[in-house]
Amino acid sequence: MNQILICKNDRKNYIKYQILFFIFVLIICASIIFLFVNIYKEFASEEISKKLNSSYSITTLYSNNMSYTATEPTSDPFVIGIIKIDKISLNYSILSTSNNDLLDISVCRFAGPMPNEIGNLCIAGHNYVDYKLFSRLNELNINDSITIYDLSGNFKTYKVYDIYETAPDDISCTFQNTNGKRIVTLVTCNNVNGKRLVIHASEIV
């Protein structure tokens, strides 16, 4: 009788372990699929960014025949310039508007004028763990240089003069009263404390 009970218990344990093993395998498979999907999405976004940069010369060519102003955002081209920061090996096209889908592709203007015009050009970018987009902005220091190319192919260099963190809903960094100066503001998130990293740079004249 005891032997029969032991056999039944062993069978129950065997079935239980089989179920647990099956669940464990399912979790592992789901995790692997999720990882590969994310890697593919990031790779695809990076490829789009590279294509945008390579098409920049075409954009500048057509911009000579286009009429646009900062007060008429609907007439702005999709790509409005390029931002380069040699210190952190950053080189991305600046997209004219900002939304979740576009921020996955490149950095985006979310306030201010066209590149290298008077005012405060505010540029937002994601902070990814793989050092893409604005993930290395925290390495910048006061007096570091930022280069902005406009649609005419011309560029201006800006020097960092202020670095700070602020609350996610603080939009004071988008100020436009620059006393006739050209200013660039870079904004990204701090993945650790949930705040926003803000970097202001003014044109070197």
Q: Domains along the chain?
A: 55-203 (2.40.260.10)
Q: Looking at residue 120, what is its pLDDT?
A: 98
Distance, CA of 197 to CA of 69 (rounded, Å): 28
Closest CA relative to residue 199, chosen from 156, 149, 150, 136: 136
Q: Looking at residue 64, what is its pLDDT?
A: 42
Q: Looking at residue 76, what is its pLDDT?
A: 64
112 contacts 134 by C-beta, under 8 angstroms: no
The token duo for 152 is 């005419």
CA-based diameter of the chain, in Å?
A: 96
pLDDT tens, per residue, the chain with 205 residues: 545 545 556 666 667 777 777 777 777 767 666 655 555 555 555 555 555 555 444 444 434 433 333 334 445 678 999 999 999 999 999 999 888 888 888 999 999 999 999 999 999 999 987 788 999 999 999 999 999 999 888 999 999 999 999 998 899 999 999 999 999 999 999 888 889 999 999 999 8
**96 φ/ψ sector (left φ>0, alpha ψ -120 to 50, else beta):** alpha
174 contacts 112 by C-beta, under 8 angstroms: yes
